[in-house]
Chain A
Amino acid sequence: METNFIHHQSAHCENGVASNLLRHNGFEISEPMIFGIGSGLFFVYIPFLQVNHAPAISYRPMPGTIFNKAAKRLGFKVKRVKFSSPKAAEKALDDNLKNNIPTGLQVGVYGLTYFPDEYRFHFNAHNCVVYGKTDTHYLVSDPVMETVTTLTHADMNKVRFAKGAFAPKGQMYYPISIPKQAALAPAIVKGIKETCRDMLAPVPIVGVKGIRTIAKKIPQWAKKLGNKKANHYLAQIVRMQEEIGTGGGGFRFIYAAFLQEASAILGNEKLRELSLEMTKIGDMWRDFAVNASRVYKNRSTQEDVYNTLSKEMLAIADREEIFFKKLKDVIKAY
């Protein structure tokens, strides 16, 4: 069985699945729009949590929240189901396919055999759509892939029941009611307001302050843990920032694209100017990645390189603070 689902490649899995599922249901919406309305831009540094033997850093909020917030703000309903038994999970998915419902799934990346091995880490918050099933395989639309792909039934079971942090527990989701006409403007305003609040939060590990905290840690890592560990941590920052799914520059370019679309919808020229500024900030993150990669490639041992990187990141934080204050002012009028 196969549903008539159309695959569109996107930068990020969760927004991609959301926009693909909505488009399938006749609601045209772009990936940056979902990302912005769902307040997808974020920064958090969790020093006490280790991922791949390095401190956890994320440029995005908790899995599922972008889609949920976008759904709430646009007025459509999403049904989410988790399962304790793989059998029940498989049956529910198959029933959905029989009823011609392409279904979003939360899956673990480690078992995704269509990914290159280098991408296969124990990361459980990936999303894809299943749009059909054959005798041996499930038909999968993974939004970060150029084209559709497949997984065997056994592999599908594995990725749906991957274990560890954010274990998907077979979670599947699909929109159940979609308004014919959604009011985009108020949804955009709400999304932006929350992003400004998050990024300017008075918490040392979140938003602009979180970026500052980690920037100050970089030279300390080198001093306390040695260059090898510091370099590994730096590589982790760059990977989180540029990983497949971010659209480049730690999601800053997707956000800039959203602001540009938002400026047209709200008829506000200032948002377009801010979009240009966000693009520049994204470029600064890209430059940071280039410089960081030079450090761990050359294995340079001067103490100064870590201080330079730290300063570079602090400069980005300053720029973002100014940016989000301006954005907050612009959106206040609504």
Chain B
Amino acid sequence: MKKEEVPQDAGNLSKSNMKELVYATDDKGNYTTALSSGWEPKSIALSNSIAEINERIEAAKAEVKAGQASPIVYYMELHKMDPQILASYVGIWKWRVKRHFRPKVFNRLSDKLLQKYADTFDITLDELKNFKAE
């Protein structure tokens, strides 16, 4: 990549002051560094992933609303987690986390365990218990 070809596309990030360093060659072919404000193919890839996450969040919300999933599923997706990551934060096995996705099981969980989930999601116990999918 030549220095004058370093892309300066408008980024789609929430914090626009982010410029990253890339390596590029000058007119004599020597390597130097340059700052790039963004590159379209990369922004598209990132938006694609973000869109995918948002779809997952919406789907989880719908499932909670329909009584098919517990609020844990929604908050897990909201925090870009998967069952494995969530399990390691809460400090229990993955299969237990997956069991807690069932509303019936969720409703019987102790406050102590629910508090661990609430801490992981940075919400109160109340918010977790009384989550209403709207």
Binding site for B on A (CB under 8 A): 9-11, 32, 50, 52-53, 110, 115-122, 144-146, 163-165, 167, 231-232, 235-236, 238-239, 242, 244, 247-249, 253-254, 256-257, 260-261, 275-276, 279, 282-283, 286, 289-290, 292-293, 296-297
A235 touches which one: B22, B49, B82, B89 (CB < 8 A)?
B49
Q: Which residue of B lies closest to A228 (CB)?
A: B52
B45 touches which one: A115, A235, A286 (CB < 8 A)?
A235
Is the beta-carbon distance between B29 and A9 smaller than 8 angstroms? no
25 CB-based A-B contacts, threshold 8 Å: A11-B33, A52-B49, A110-B79, A118-B46, A121-B80, A144-B21, A146-B18, A146-B35, A164-B88, A232-B49, A238-B41, A238-B42, A239-B42, A239-B45, A239-B46, A242-B41, A247-B22, A248-B36, A253-B1, A253-B23, A253-B24, A257-B31, A275-B31, A290-B41, A293-B45
Contacts of B82 in A (CB 8 A): 50, 53
Is B68 interfacial (CB-CB < 8 Å)? Answer: no
Q: Which residue of B lies closest to A114 (CB)?
A: B15
Contacts of A232 in B (CB 8 A): 48-49, 52
Q: Which residue of A lies closest to B18 (CB)?
A: A116
The number of residues on chain B lying at the interface, defined by a beta carbon within 8 Å of a beta carbon of chain A, is 40
B13 touches which one: A118, A257, A275, A292 (CB < 8 A)?
A118
Contacts of A235 in B (CB 8 A): 44-45, 48-49, 52
Contacts of A260 in B (CB 8 A): 30-31
Bound state CA distance, A244 and B41, in angstroms? Answer: 13
16 further A-B contacts with Cβ under 8 Å, apart from A53-B56, A275-B31, A293-B45, are A11-B33, A52-B49, A118-B12, A122-B80, A122-B81, A144-B21, A145-B18, A146-B35, A164-B84, A164-B85, A164-B88, A232-B52, A235-B49, A242-B42, A289-B41, A296-B44
What string of 1s and 0s marks CB contacts (under 8 Å) between B73-95 and chain A? 00000011110110011000000
A30 → chain B, closest Cβ, in Å? 10
Bound state CA distance, A118 and B84, in angstroms? Answer: 21
